[in-house]
Amino acid sequence: MRRHGGGGHAEVLRSRVLEWYAGHQRDLPWRRPDRTPWGVLVSEVMLQQTPVARVLPVWERWMDWWPTPSLLAEVPSGVAVREWGRLGYPRRALRLHAAATAIREHHRGEVPADEETLRTLPGIGDYTAAAVAAFAFGRRATVVDTNVRRVQARAVTGTALPSPSLTRAEVDLATGLLPTDDGEAATWSVAVMELGALVCTARAPRCGECPVADLCAWRLAGSPPYTGPTRRGQAWAGTDRQCRGTLVQVLRDAGGPVLGTVLRAAWPAAGSDDTGTEGTALQRDRCLDALVAEGLVEPLPGDRFRLPGT
């Protein structure tokens, strides 16, 4: 993997990106001085594969209702799923509820500050643990998301896009670029993410606005096209994801138990590629069984279903 420049190059890179971030950062509530560790944790889980514009209203509603993990832990998990709205991947709501319960029961209601302990919380992986340690507690942690990977790929390694899957080399590179000071390292991590989100975008990078365009290894190489493994987009119409989302939305809208006949009639959904065949029924039943097994849907006597505890 090609790398551009050495320690001096990294120092200039950091300085320029940090200066750019100071003047261009978005005003997001989970970045403000009055943010709480719980608010940061909720934002990081919600932002996984979901744009900021969709997350903002849901995050604000959650913070109004459940400003602490203990308050969320007091309500049934199905309430969290219902109030997840249309953010997608509702298992994240279950994981947040489980994490809130663990924080209340094992950490006196306070979000842990160190990565190792954060990783013991249900549904909290390496990325989220590092992000919370950095952005909530100002600790030096290696935070690598899609935006960070893309900025590193272009500015340092000279490739148009990172590989489809995170590599050890990318994590090591991100760690090597971290400033030594804890607070500056945390700011650097969010600054690189912001640069990737606003300027060094995947499809149409705005290189003319980039603070490190003249240092970018990819531009210096002539901006060669991506030649790595095929990057497949995520389908939606007619998929299990759409089917699952449709079934959960019926229960969310109902606010209480729903007859199985009503629930099953919701699929195929309008706009899907399915036509009501036996295969569609098998898909629907498979998805419903999976939702029950995962705890997202609770079966009741009399062929009724509900969100857990609602």
Token pair 């249309």 is found at: 86
Q: Annotated catalytic residue: which of 11, 19, 44, 83?
A: 44
Count other C-beta atoms under 10 Å from residue 196's C-beta: 23
- Catalytic, 44? Answer yes
Q: Residues near 39 by Cβ (< 8 Å), separated by ≥ 6?
A: 29, 30, 59, 63, 67
In the three-class reduction of DSSP (H, G, I as helix; E, B as strand; rest coil), residue 259 is classed as strand
The angle subtended at Cα 125 by Cα 74 and Cα 1, nearest 5°, is 160
Identity of the amino acid at 146: T
Annotate 215-257 with DSSP letters as a single string. G-HHHHTT-PPP-SS--PPPP-TTSHHHHHHHHHHHHHHHSS-
Residue 211 to residue 194: CA distance in whole angstroms: 12
What element of type H or E holds 300? strand 298-300
User: Which residues are catalytic, by number?
Assistant: 44
